[in-house]
Amino acid sequence: MFDFLAHSLLTDPTLIAANYDGETDQRLECELESYRKHCIAELDRLTVEVSHVAGSLSCVGSAEMGSLSSLKRAALYIEQMILPDPIFPFTAPKSAMSSTMSGYLGMGSSSEKLNRVALAGAVKDVLSKRDMVVGGYLKFYPVSYHDEAPVQIPIYYDANGYTDLVPTPILQIFREKSEIFTAESTPGGLIVTDRLEPCRKIFINFKGTRPGTGFIYNLMSQETLSFDDETRIAQFRLSTPSFPPSQAHFDKWVAESLARSAGSYFRGLTTDISLAQSLSSVYACSSSFDSQLLRSSMMEVDKGIPENAIECVLKMKLPYMDKISSRDLMSLRNNDGEAFQSFRTDLEARFRELRYESDSIVIRRKIVDIEHEMSEVQVKAISNKIKSVRRAAVVDLGLAFSGLAAAVVTSGVSLFGTLTAALHGAKTYAEYRKDVKENPCYFLFEAKRLTKSQKPEDRQKKVRSSGGQAKITRLSATGGVLRDSEQ
């Protein structure tokens, strides 16, 4: 991914700042097409690279896991995080029929234009996480490639009203969480109202999903004009009557649309889970709705120790983790690997019993207690021990110098004086290793210390002095799925 982006106009800082103003649609689309070809050509190699990280805990995260805050917390436990490539969806091939249908349904010609603001945001999002990629922790994967809409608009029919697309208990969850509203086409685009009444355009959303996710359906009238028995070719006429359907027809259509939305959403979720399994990874999401689906009686399985630990870590507040830079965090993970592994093991042990707790309030309280014990009590103990070791080292050093000075005055540098200096130093270091670095919370102590090592303005000065750089638009063919920068 970065091999391509390093030499791409997509990452030109001037163009990004201007949302690619001045570049033609043709050139941008050509660049995106080249990016698509590059990602697909490298997909097998990327898959092998992701799947064969020996002994690592790898996690495929949903789009909501992409915030720097979530990534930094997850980095305390997860060895490899895989996120959906936010640029790749912009490379999806366009369908002439979908474009024509979008225009007819009032989406406007602008619905087919490249959303430059969104593209610039996706590129900035990727660049803001570059240090995590370089650190070997984060990888981007073209997840949307496995769930792209067909080029041609398919024809759907189900005698059971699409209720068999998902298991009945799962469908019930979708029904309970559904929000359905009348939608209206205007010259400025599609407007979703706050009501539901007989109409020919509706918007369906599910409470608890990430913002920007929803489904649009249009109820059209269909007339068969001709059918050739030999060629098996039929000709239809689709139109949108100016009057609403009857209440019975409308209710049936809404129920079918809801079931189709549930099927589409559920298929996307299971595709992500299947992808995680194929990459030898666990799957993590922060959407409350996805979490409810995964915990349903139809899908719930015994939660493993790593999966439980990931869930608990993401619920910890750890406010100082927002202050540590990605580069410092990656350096800490890579340079203090022994401390990192010790900390991960300790986390698993502390969170293990919560696997069997069903009361969310009890879980929340226990996580708060564990966080306080690790982040405050243990870190404070480490800090006090370090001060104690330093004081002991100063005293020992004074004794050693005294012994050496006496030896020099009487008979040169004696063996006794040299051994005195060496033994005192060895004792101090051994105490340091035993009581400080072997504490499982030493990794957390170092992470917290790094947030205080430099003031924000000093860090910016260092960056500048070293020459561094401060780091519903389209109707799809499947039913209209609407699909912090760190310096």
Question: pLDDT tens digit string along 416-471?
Answer: 444 444 445 555 556 666 667 778 888 888 888 887 665 544 444 443 333 433 33
Task: Identify whether the C-beta of residue 70 lies closer than 8 Å to the C-beta of residue 63.
Answer: no
Residue 302, pLDDT > 80, answer: no
Residue 304 has pLDDT above 70, yes or no: yes
Tell me which residue has tokens 């792209």. 148
Average pLDDT over residues 463-481: 36
What average pLDDT does range 373-394 have in this prediction?
A: 74
User: According to the model, what pLDDT value does residue 153 have?
Assistant: 66
Alpha-carbon span 99 to 103, nearest angstrom: 6
Give residue 310's pLDDT band: very low, low, confident or very high (50, 70, 90). Answer: confident
Dihedral sign for Cα 74, 5, 14, 90, please: negative
Q: What is the mean pLDDT of residues 103-108?
A: 64
Of residues 238 and 433, more confidence is placed in 238
The reported pLDDT for the residue numbered 476 is 37
pLDDT reading at 113 higher than 90: no
For residue 481, what is the DSSP state?
B
- Which pLDDT score, from 0 to 100, does residue 294 have? 83
Helices (H), 163-304: 168-177, 247-278, 288-294
* DSSP string across 276-302: HHHTT-EEE---HHHHHHHTSTTT--P
Cβ 142 vs Cβ 38: under 8 Å: no
Across 17-21, 220-224, 401-405, least confident range: 401-405
Q: Report, as an integer, the average pLDDT of 351-360.
A: 82
Q: Say whether pLDDT at 410 is over 60.
A: no
Query: Can you list the alpha helix ranges (DSSP code H) found in 52-190?
Result: 68-74, 96-104, 116-128, 130-134, 168-177
Return mean pLDDT, the chain.
Answer: 79
Six-digit token string for 179: 């929000």
In this prediction, residues 468-484 reach a mean pLDDT of 35
| DSSP H helices in 18-77 | 25-41, 43-51, 68-74
Q: Where is pLDDT greater, at 461 or 135?
A: 135
27: confidence class by pLDDT, cuts 50, 70, 90:
very high
Cα 11 from chain centroid (whole Å): 21
Half-sphere exposure of 445 (CA within 13 A, CB side): 21
pTM: 0.73
pLDDT at 338: 82
C-alpha distances (whole Å) from 363 to each of 76, 109, 357 are 19, 51, 7
More confident residue, 426 or 294: 294
* pLDDT above 60 for 248: yes
Note the residue count of the chain: 487
State the DSSP code for 243. S
For residues 105 and 62, the model is more confident at: 62
Neighbours of 328 (CB within 10 A): 18
Give yes or no for residue 299 having a pLDDT over 60.
no
**Using one digit for the tens of pLDDT, what is the confidence trace for 68-98?**
888 988 888 888 999 999 999 999 887 666 6
Stronger pLDDT, 16 or 395, i.e. the higher one: 16
